[in-house]
Amino acid sequence: MHILLADDDEDDCLFFKEAFEDIKIKTNLRIVNDGVELMNYLTRTGIKLPHILFLDLNMPRKSGLDCLVEIKSMKHLRDIPIAIYSTSASEADIEDTFVKGANIYIKKPGDFGALKKTLEQIVTINWQYHTSGLNKEHFLLSI
Amino acid sequence: MKLKWVSKAFFIKGLFVLSLFLLIFISSISYKHITSLTESTQLLVHSYKIQIELEQLMSYMKEAETGQRGFIISHDTVFLEPYKSAHERVNGSFLILKYLTAEQKEQQPNLDSLLHLLNYRFELLETSLVLAVNAEMNHNELDLNLRRGRDVMDLLRMQVNKINEVEMGYFKLHQRKYEHEIFFTPIIAFLLLMFTLMVFTFSFIKINRDLVVLIKSNKQLIIKTESINHAEIIGEFCTTQWDPETHRYAFSDNLYRMLGVEPQSFEPTIENYIKFVHPEDRKTVEESYEQTTKENKINPLSYRIIRKDGELRYFRSRGKAVSEGQRNITHIGIIKDVTQMHLNSIELEERNHALEQSIKELESFNRIASHDLQEPLRKIQTFISRISEKEALTLSDSGKEYFEKILTSVTRMRVLIDDLLLFSRTTKTEKVFEPADLNQLLENALQELSHDIEEKNAVFFIPKLPVLNVIAFQIQQLFMNLIGNSLKYSKPGISPKIRIECKKVMAQENPILKPLNHNAFYKISVIDNGLGFEQEYAENIFNLFQRLHHEKEFPGSGIGLSICKKIVENHSGFITAEGIPGIGSSMHIFLPK
């Protein structure tokens, strides 16, 4: 399973990597550190598109929100499920990302156990099914 | 009003013409009357003249007779002298009579017979004189002759009387006609005079009354003018008048004052005025003037003025064309000195800008707080959880305890930040009021709190709540905070009983409700059987970071009730608290109906 993480924070990337190592599911994790790098990676020819993209909102050069808009405007990238992965969970951010087509909103947990649990839950979701039944009440993932 | 004046002018003119006409009429009647009187007098004089002449004639006849008689008696020729002269005089007298009666046809036959008789009488006298020379011889004949003479004399007298009578009759007829005429004329003349006098009196009263009105209007005009003058000074404005026919301006005194010069110290022309206008604005003012004069368009205008003393002022002008019927009488312009207003608005703009700036700063602070401040804390939490998990076996018991304490502090820090953010968001969110069913909002709140409710085994008593115009998510937050508090501060070991009440109250019935914009309120109370509090803290508990319990007993930020207060204030409502330690607490919110 191909997983792509876009996050500029080294520590978070470390937690993310460790969490996936602990999870029993076989995954292939790829990490990019900012929005520009993310877009360059996704638009490169011949790469395998990820099954799911974890997108931090607060990144240098190009913000997560800008990336979201760009991805959703591209025909071949439009269908990648996007999980917003952010420290804050302000109403405005949640509303904005929902309207712009993100699939789920995850507030970075402060507990490693919770992180593992969350990631496990996300990667096991059948996105095909989830997207069709999309509604705002379930947008913010509560653990 | 205008029509009234026009009709009044016509009325006065009409009165004048009528009076004039009546006066001419009276004059002509009087003239006629006087003429007729003169005529009558002349006629009388004429009659008397005839009468006198007739008497004269008769006396001459008598003189002739006397002379003749004297001669017959004395045969003295001296007596023949008066006789002869009498004959001539009688002829003269008759000629006068003939002349006097020349126009009276009916007198002519009478005169003819008089002449006949006169001639006959003189014939007889002549015969008598001839006979008297030989009186003894012709005694009988003379006697006869004399007797006949006396008869002719009688006839003469009768004839004279007849002429006289005719004359008198003529006179009397005229007199009657004249009297008939003169009987009515004075009455008519008098009535007309009275009428004329009435008309004059009426006109006088009318004119006098109009004059009073005029004087009063004039006085009011003076008062109005003065009021405007003062209003102009106090209100810092001035007026201009422009006559479309003469193309002349009139400036009010205050215009000059506003320019910093003596009233009426320069000729009121656009050229003179423009000298005071700021050079950059002159074109605009000139263009506006052109429009006013050529297209009859008066547009509002703002421009700057440099006063005589060099001070810069901001003027704003407006105009209006005043017309009577189709005709434009004048253009009135009002110019206001808006310098203070202008400066105020600039200041206000600056302040607004500063305010916007600080709002932006606050927003960025919020973003920093919500994201950047949270991040290190979250990482500390995560690292501690990693250590607890990975190094559980190598850590000493006290080390584990310290980590536990660090974790508690960090968690508390995060709660504080979250609550502060919530509070600031309650303050600044865009307020969208929509009708919302409060029952639904309460249910949502209970749903959110379901975990705690189940854990504490709480029991609720819920009435039917109204539909109100509110910011829905805030009211839901309000319910959550109030019920959350009731659950949190419940007595240990006893299942909390939370009763919610709702009733309508009138503003005047409740002293804390100031009837600002609303008369009726809904009073919604959340009453519990929890720990309660001392009533003296009832005010304090709504203040930011105010807490009645120790962190250890009841962890919290002390922001919850401050948020409640904020929310209720956002809805123009009020919130109060009542508490009895050990019994419970009641929170009352008042929302306008």
Domains B236-337 and B429-592 alike in fold: no
B203 touches chain A (CB under 8 A): no
pTM of the model: 0.47
pLDDT of residue A28: 86
Is residue B510 pLDDT above 80, yes or no? no
Residue B350 has what pLDDT? 94
Of the partner residues A12, A58, A112, the one whose CB lies closest to the CB of residue B389: A112
- Among candidates B399, B337, B411, B587, which has minimal Cα distance to B482? B587
Strand B301-306 with B467-470, pairing: unpaired
Angle at B179 between CA B177 and CA B182, to 5 degrees: 110
- CB burial of B481-501 (b: ≥16 within 10 Å; e: otherwise) equals bbbbbbbbbbeeeeebbbbbe
A124–chain B Cβ distance below 8 A for any pair? no
First to last CA, chain A: 23
C-alpha A110/C-alpha A108 separation (Å) is 7
B382, A110: Cβ pair inside 8 Å?
yes
Say yes or no for a CB contact (<8 Å) between B414 and A110: yes
| HEC sequence for B260-278 | CCCCCCCCCCHHHHHCCEC
Beta carbons of B385 and A90 less than 8 Å apart: no
Q: Which residues 63-82 of chain A have a CB within 8 Å of chain B?
A: none
Mutate to test the interface with B, among A84, A87, A136 (most CBs of B within 10 A): A87
Reported as a single tens digit per residue, the pLDDT across B143-162 is: 888 888 888 888 888 888 88
Token representation of residue B95: 């000629």
Q: Which residues of B touch A11 (CB under 8 A)?
A: 379, 382
B412 — contact with chain A (CB < 8 Å)?
no
Whether the Cβ atoms of residue B355 and residue A85 lie closer than 8 Å to each other = no
Residue B2 has pLDDT above 60, yes or no: no
Using a CB-CB cut-off of 8 Å, the residues of chain A touching B427 are none
Average pLDDT value for residue range B375-404: 85
Percent of chain B with pLDDT over 70: 95
pLDDT-wise least confident of B229-233, B336-340, B428-432, B503-507: B428-432
Q: Is B421 on the interface with A (CB under 8 A)?
A: yes
B434 membership: H or E segment, kind and range = strand B434-437
Please give the pLDDT value at position B5: 59
Smallest Cβ–Cβ distance between A87 and the set B371, B410, B411 belongs to: B371
Are B502 and B568 contacting, i.e. CB atoms less than 8 angstroms apart? no
pLDDT confidence tier of residue B314, bands split at 50, 70 and 90: very high
pLDDT in tens, B159-187: 888 888 888 887 788 778 777 766 776 77
**A142 to chain B: nearest residue by CA?**
B448
Residue A57's closest chain B neighbor by CA? B371
The tokens for A115 are 């992180």
Of B157-161, B471-475, B511-515, where does mean pLDDT reach its minimum? B511-515
From chain B, pick out residues whose CB is under 8 angstroms from the CB of A110.
377-378, 381-382, 385, 410-411, 414
Whether the CB of A9 is below 8 Å from some CB of chain B: the reply is yes
pLDDT of residue B551: 66
Query: Given pLDDT bands bounded at 50, 70 and 90, which one contains residue B100?
Result: confident
The size of the A-B interface in CB pairs under 8 A is: 43
- Is A113 touching B (CB cutoff 8 A)? yes
Q: Is A88 on the interface with B (CB under 8 A)?
A: yes
Segments of chain A scoring below 50 in pLDDT: 132-133
> Are residues B336 and B316 in contact, defined by beta-carbon separation less than 8 angstroms?
yes
The pLDDT value given to residue A133 = 45
Q: How far is A133 from chain B (nearest CA, A)?
A: 22
The CATH architecture that domain B236-337 belongs to is 2-Layer Sandwich (3.30)
Residue of A nearest to B410 (CA): A110
Q: Where are the domains of chain B?
A: 2-185, 236-337, 373-428, 429-592
Mean pLDDT in residue range B302-310: 91
Inter-chain contact A111–B382, Cβ cutoff 8 Å?
Answer: yes
Query: Token pair of B232, please?
Result: 């102009």
Q: Residue B45: is its pLDDT beyond 80?
A: yes
For residue A116, the distance in angstroms to the closest alpha carbon of chain B comes to: 11
**Contacts of residue B410 in chain A, CB cutoff 8 Å?**
110
B428 contacts chain A (CB < 8 A): no
Chain B residue with Cα closest to A56: B371
What confidence score (pLDDT) does residue B224 get?
93
Residue of A11, A108, A113 with shortest CB distance to B385: A113
C-beta atoms of B375 and A113 within 8 A: no
What are the C-alpha distances in Å from B362 to residues A21, B18, B367, B413, B562? 41, 92, 9, 20, 19
Nearest to B446 by CA among B479, B423, B424, B420: B479
Quote the tokens at residue B452.
Answer: 């705690």
CB distance B313 to B258 below 8 Å:
yes
The predicted-structure confidence for B396-417, as pLDDT tens digits, reads as follows: 888 888 888 888 888 888 888 8
**Per mean pLDDT, which range of B339-343, B537-541, B578-582 is the poorest?**
B537-541
Give the residue among A1, A53, A51, A55 at the shortest CA–CA distance from A24. Answer: A1
- B378 and A87 within 8 Å at the Cβ level: the answer is yes
Distance in Å from the first CA to the final CA of chain B: 54
Residue A101 to chain B, least CA–CA distance (Å): 22
CATH 3.30.565.10, domain B429-592, yes or no:
yes
Tokens linked to B435: 């009708």
Among residues B153, B317, B344, B345, which one has the least CA distance to residue B242?
B317
- For residue B388, the chain A residue with the least C-alpha distance is A112
Q: Which of B382, B387, B414 to mutate to test the interface with A (most CBs of A within 10 A)?
A: B382
| Chain A touched by B451 (CB under 8 Å) | no
Return the DSSP state at B388.
H
Of A63-72, A96-105, B31-40, B542-551, the range with the lowest mean pLDDT is B542-551
Collapsing DSSP to helix, strand or coil, B375 comes out as: helix
B264 touches A at CB < 8 Å:
no
Predicted confidence at residue A142, as pLDDT, reads 62
Window A:24-53, CB contacts with B under 8 Å: none
On whether any CB of chain A is under 8 Å from the CB of B410, the answer is yes
Residue B1's pLDDT is: 47
Smallest CA–CA distance, residue B461 to chain A, in Å, is: 28
Query: Do the Cβ atoms of B385 and A11 come within 8 Å?
Result: no
Nearest-CA distance from B441 to chain A in Å? 15
Q: Residue A130 has what pLDDT?
A: 59
CB contact under 8 A, A110 and B378: yes
Contacts of B386 in chain A (CB under 8 A): 15, 18, 112
Which residues, listed in sequence order, are joined to residue A53 by a DSSP beta bridge? A4, A82
Is residue A116 less than 8 Å (CB to CB) from chain B?
no
